[in-house]
A = this chain, B = another copy of it.
Amino acid sequence: MATIRDVAKLAGVSVATISRYLNKSGYVNVETEQKIKKAIEALNYEPNAVARGLAGKKTNTIALILPDISNPFFPELARAVEDVASMYGYTVILCNSDDEGVKEKSYIEVLKKKYIDGIIFASNTLDSADVEQMTKKGIPVVCLDRVPPKQSCSVVRSKNREGAKLAVEHLLSMGCRKIAHIYGPQEFITAKERLAGYEEAVMHLDWYSPTFMIQGDFRIEGGIRATELLMERHPDVDAIFAGNDLMAVGTLKALHRMGVQVPGQVAVCGFDGIGMTEITQPELTTVAQPIYEMGALVSRILIKKIEGTLEADQTYELDVALVPRESTLRRNGHESS
């Protein structure tokens, strides 16, 4: 591989001039420019990114730290992040944290040593002190689904509370009268907010009782178990709103095993809008987050932050949308109202 000095020699100028030409920093005469162009062509020269990284402390690399890429929520997000990143000339390092603080921290150590330009956190263990420390050390950070922090860190999230209300309203409008909720682990702010939204929407209704709320684990298995427990406790429910799609899939499975008709006897609604919801039988009604958009946005914000064109850190709350499908389609409902 040719180096900048080879090019300089061949073009008959100094390395400084080549560097100026490459980075469009400083003056370069048009004729000189031509000579340089030719030399670069002739030598098939490509600037070395590592050397650039060392000299400039900028590597055009960002990291995406998420709990687990095999969780169906994240591939689409990762895809969006990578699409935007590559559009802006950045490369993406993928890190699976399993939501374990230790792993996160150790990734951060490695990434710092690699002069990573910035980090996207879609993982949940980091607290705001950690984040602040990062930004203080000059590493831009943007977070997903986190509570809006005071300090320097943008956050992208979606309207979980509103989404939950949307779900409840939809179920009510479909004629459901006893709507249960399977909530996710309360360490996750998303789970907390969805639960809050549910409670807010149902607490004034006459049938309301805390026993309609039951804990799940945001996974299929947890959805199954929670549904079993729930149906035992409340054989009278006619709708289940699960805190995420995976648990809703579990609910569907459990109800099917019990011989309960969906949506005939019990309507089911999920949350997230992952692809799986379109392949269940019946297809799953869900409160869809704009997953791709979230990834694209978070990634654009990070890059802006890296390049210093971000005015101020902000929290972006994206709209969610109810996607009505078979699993809540009840003839006795009336979608108006």
Using a CB–CB cutoff of 8 Å, the interface residues on chain A facing chain B are: 46-51, 53-54, 59, 61, 64, 68-72, 74-76, 78-79, 82-83, 86, 91-96, 109-115, 220, 249, 252-253, 256, 275-276, 279-281
Please give, as numbers and ranges, the residues of chain B lying within 8 Å of A78 by CB-CB distance: 69-70, 94
Q: Which residue of chain B is the closest to A85 with respect to CB atoms?
A: B94
Please give, as numbers and ranges, the residues of chain B lying within 8 Å of A64 by CB-CB distance: 94
The answer on a CB contact under 8 Å between A91 and B91 is: no
Please give, as numbers and ranges, the residues of chain B lying within 8 Å of A256 by CB-CB distance: 281
Given known A253-B279, A279-B279, contact A83–B54 (CB-CB < 8 A)? no
Cross-chain contact of A75 among B59, B70, B93, B113 (Cβ < 8 A): B70
What's the Cα separation between A248 and B17 when bound, in Å? 60
Q: From residue A283, how far is it (CB to closest CB) to chain B in Å?
A: 9
Given known A113-B47, A249-B279, A256-B281, contact A79–B68 (CB-CB < 8 A)? yes
13 contacts between A and B (CB under 8 A): A46-B109, A49-B115, A50-B59, A61-B93, A61-B114, A69-B75, A69-B79, A70-B76, A70-B78, A252-B281, A276-B276, A276-B279, A280-B280
Cross-chain contact of A113 among B48, B93, B109, B115 (Cβ < 8 A): B48
Q: From residue A145, how far is it (CB to closest CB) to chain B in Å?
A: 19
Please give, as numbers and ranges, the residues of chain B lying within 8 Å of A279 by CB-CB distance: 220, 249, 252-253, 276, 279-280
Please give, as numbers and ranges, the residues of chain B lying within 8 Å of A281 by CB-CB distance: 252, 256, 280-281
The answer on a CB contact under 8 Å between A49 and B114 is: yes
What's the Cα separation between A82 and B78 when bound, in Å? 14
Please give, as numbers and ranges, the residues of chain B lying within 8 Å of A114 by CB-CB distance: 49-50, 59, 61, 91
Cross-chain contact of A50 among B75, B115, B249, B280 (Cβ < 8 A): B115
What's the Cα separation between A275 and B221 when bound, in Å? 13
What's the Cα separation between A240 and B79 when bound, in Å? 32
Q: From residue A96, how far is it (CB to closest CB) to chain B in Å?
A: 6
What's the Cα separation between A47 and B253 when bound, in Å? 52
Q: From residue A56, how far is it (CB to closest CB) to chain B in Å?
A: 10
Cross-chain contact of A54 among B54, B74, B220 (Cβ < 8 A): B54
Cross-chain contact of A94 among B59, B68, B82 (Cβ < 8 A): B82
Q: From residue A15, how far is it (CB to closest CB) to chain B in Å?
A: 16
Please give, as numbers and ranges, the residues of chain B lying within 8 Å of A253 by CB-CB distance: 279
Given known A75-B69, A115-B49, A281-B281, contact A83–B59 (CB-CB < 8 A)? no
The answer on a CB contact under 8 Å between B95 and A110 is: no
What's the Cα separation between A59 and B46 when bound, in Å? 18
Q: From residue A260, how far is it (CB to closest CB) to chain B in Å?
A: 13
What's the Cα separation between A281 and B78 when bound, in Å? 28
Which 8 residue pairs across A and B have the least CB separation, nearest first? A281-B281, A49-B113, A70-B75, A49-B114, A94-B94, A70-B79, A50-B53, A50-B54
Q: From residue A112, how far is it (CB to closest CB) to chain B in Å?
A: 8
Q: From residue A130, how far is it (CB to closest CB) to chain B in Å?
A: 17
What's the Cα separation between A112 and B91 when bound, in Å? 12
Q: Which of A115, A252, A281 has the most CB of B within 10 A?
A: A281
